[in-house]
């Protein structure tokens, strides 16, 4: 229901790629973020809002441990954009050997992936594909 309301409010259908980490603040608020490329900022009309250059947002200091969710969101914008860019890079054609590196505990299971290609598991290229 929240996604449908956001699509209606922004007048777009594609909300973008989900960011892999939900953001949480000290009050228990959870925000699930999506990142999407906009060809023209004028095509998205939101009342009572304005576009800011990314440089202004990146100059802000990192949030304190008791920061509210808007401060946490502002401090992670560059990380979210970088994740979106590197996760859309495709591997060249070829034969690859992939493996899973996992870390687990009682209530958590993590699959470890390379930072420069978070959309694929750790791998090594065997040969080119003709």
Please tell me the predicted confidence (pLDDT) of residue 52. Answer: 74
User: Model confidence over 34-62: pLDDT tens digits?
Assistant: 888 877 777 666 666 777 777 776 666 66
CA-to-CA distance for 104 and 29, rounded, in angstroms?
25
Low-confidence ranges of the chain (pLDDT < 50): none
What's the DSSP call for residue 36? -
CA-to-CA distance for 103 and 113, rounded, in angstroms?
11
**How many DSSP H helices and E strands does the chain contain?**
4, 8
Are 19 and 31 a contacting pair, CB within 8 Å? no
Question: Which residue in 128, 27, 13 sits closest to 68, CA to CA?
Answer: 27
């Amino acid at each position: 229901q929240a996604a449908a309301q956001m699509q209606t409010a922004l007048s777009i259908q594609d909300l973008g790629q989900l960011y892999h980490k939900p953001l949480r603040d000290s009050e228990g608020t959870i925000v699930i973020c999506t990142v999407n490329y906009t060809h023209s900022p004028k095509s998205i009309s939101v009342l009572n809002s304005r576009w800011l250059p990314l440089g202004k947002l990146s100059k802000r200091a990192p949030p304190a441990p008791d920061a509210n969710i808007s401060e946490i969101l502002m401090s992670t914008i560059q990380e979210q954009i970088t994740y979106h860019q590197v996760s859309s890079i495709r591997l060249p054609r070829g034969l690859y050997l992939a493996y899973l590196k996992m870390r687990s505990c009682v209530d958590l299971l993590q699959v470890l992936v390379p930072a420069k290609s978070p959309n694929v598991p750790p791998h090594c290229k065997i040969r080119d594909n003709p």
